[in-house]
Chain A
Amino acid sequence: MDDTYLEIAKLFSALSLSAFGGGNTVLPSMHMAAVSQYHWMSNQQFLDLFSISKAAPGPSTLIVELIALKATGFPQGSHFLFLSAVIGAVISILAMFVPSSILLLIVSSFWEKILGSPWQRTIEKALMPMTTGLILASTWIVAKTAISGWVTGIIGVISLVIILKTKINPILIMLVAALLSRILLK
């Protein structure tokens, strides 16, 4: 059991520092590690965890917690081990978010220090158009999975207009859209 904690800590802290471009980019590595390398779960279980992480509120990178929950709380042929599951979950979250956060904190602190210097303007001006390009690229990816037909396409466009033109909270729009898609796509 202790080995599992260590494996989780090592796996996710390594992935934390290699997740360039966001948490989604290391999903294939997580998949490989959880299913083929450590045999924590079946392929289908991993895919189900993926849909749970997409459906639940909050950062979908918390899929690491679901993986750890299975590895430590539901080991092969055992009943549910609550305490192990909690420890595993905490370790997975710390391992996944702390290393990358420390890196970002170092960069942010450096940034706050050079505020107002000419190089700060240089970095800002140089990075912003790239960021816009990367945002368009991720919008593209979200659109490829989210827009699957006329109904979702129209909902997407209408919500874009509402979000740009009004101050309505997106959650309200999401609620209405969720109900609409339930009626229209049944």
Chain B
Amino acid sequence: MDPESNNSCNSSILESDLQTVNGERSSQKNAVSLHHIANVFFFIGVTSFGGGGTAYIRRIIVEDKKWLTNEEFFTGLSFCQLLPGANVVGISLYIGNHLCGIAGGFIASLFLILPSSFIFFGLGYLYFSMGALPSVEVMLKGAGAVACGLMASMFVEAAEESLKNVVDILIFIITFLLVRVGHFHVPLVILMVAPVALWWYRPRPHQQNKEIVPEVMTPKEKKENG
């Protein structure tokens, strides 16, 4: 058997030291190997249907596997929203990189894309050579509705995690309205709102002391951490 496959990735010892420094905000970095990452993202790749892929990934990585905390996941998601590119691929790369470094990121995105790319190739070939379009539309309606529920559940989790005071709620509402009602492009909205939000939460001397005290845990995290 490959000795690498059962061990966690190299940097894990260092990272678990870092976790103790960071207190309770840690996830289970040290328990995850490239092998695990490949398995899980392969599974995600072939079983994600009907949109809302990021919500599906959160469900599996944060809730089932507990490889990342909600906070770590949503931070990664905000980077994906900030930068160009497909969000599902971006968040997989972020998760893999967070767990096992660049190799982890590479494996996660590769195993997410590769199996589906074979399926896409097969379907594309069938379509262009025979003109056959898979007629599963009625069944996809049900799956699409569940994907919508999945997205909504991610919104509930994100709201619980991120909206802790009036300013948070204001930032949230303004961002949503600018995109939905104002029809501004996402990067433009981020450019408009982010400077104000960053300025509001800028590091201030009297807050430095607070940082040493472990973050206030949400009721959910308390439950999870026992």
Count of B residues near A, CB < 8 Å? Answer: 110
Contact status B146-A170, CB under 8 Å: yes
CA distance A171 to B143 in the complex (A): 9
Q: List 8 A-B contacts (CB under 8 A).
A: A19-B85, A48-B127, A58-B112, A69-B128, A80-B125, A142-B148, A159-B148, A160-B152
Which of A96, A100, A133 is the one whose CB lies under 8 Å from B172?
A133
Q: Which residue of A lies closest to B94 (CB)?
A: A108
Q: Which residue of B lies closest to A51 (CB)?
A: B133
Contact status A101-B109, CB under 8 Å: yes
Q: Known contacts being A129-B163, A181-B145, is A19 close to B121, with CB within 8 Å?
A: no
Contact status B129-A80, CB under 8 Å: yes
Question: Quick one: CB contact mask for A80-97 with B, threshold 8 Å, 1 for yes?
Answer: 100001100100010011
Highest count of chain B CB atoms <10 Å: which of A59, A80, A100: A59
Count of A residues near B, CB < 8 Å? Answer: 104
**B97 / chain A contacts, CB cutoff of 8 Å:** 105, 108-109, 112
Contact status A74-B85, CB under 8 Å: no
Q: Which residue of B lies closest to A101 (CB)?
A: B93
Contact status A16-B85, CB under 8 Å: yes
CA distance A73 to B128 in the complex (A): 9
Contact status B78-A139, CB under 8 Å: no
CA distance A86 to B71 in the complex (A): 40
Q: Which residue of A lies closest to B168 (CB)?
A: A129
Q: Which residue of A lies closest to B133 (CB)?
A: A48
Which A residues, 145 to 182, have Cβ-Cβ distances below 8 Å to chain B?
145-148, 151-153, 155-160, 162-164, 167, 169-171, 173-174, 176-182
Contact status B85-A156, CB under 8 Å: no
Question: Quick one: CB contact mask for A125-139 with B, threshold 8 Å, 1 for yes?
Answer: 111111111111111
Contact status B134-A177, CB under 8 Å: no
Which B residues, 145 to 185, have Cβ-Cβ distances below 8 Å to chain A?
145-156, 158-159, 161-163, 167-169, 171-176, 179-180, 185
Question: Quick one: CB contact mask for B63-85 with A, threshold 8 Å, 1 for yes?
Answer: 11000000100111111111111
Contact status B119-A147, CB under 8 Å: no
Which of A69, A134, A155, A171 is the one whose CB lies under 8 Å from B81?
A134
Contact status B163-A59, CB under 8 Å: no
Contact status A60-B51, CB under 8 Å: yes
Contact status A19-B84, CB under 8 Å: yes
**B159 / chain A contacts, CB cutoff of 8 Å:** 132
User: Of B1-9, B30-38, B189-197, which binds chain A?
Assistant: B189-197
CA distance A176 to B150 in the complex (A): 15
Contact status A127-B194, CB under 8 Å: yes
CA distance A108 to B92 in the complex (A): 12
User: Of A1-9, A21-29, A31-39, which binds chain B?
Assistant: A21-29
Contact status A100-B202, CB under 8 Å: no
Distance between A153 CB and nearest chain B CB, rounded to angstroms: 7
**A20 / chain B contacts, CB cutoff of 8 Å:** 83-84, 185-187
Q: Known contacts being A101-B93, A135-B155, is A116 close to B18, with CB within 8 Å?
A: yes
Q: Which residue of A lies closest to B119 (CB)?
A: A56
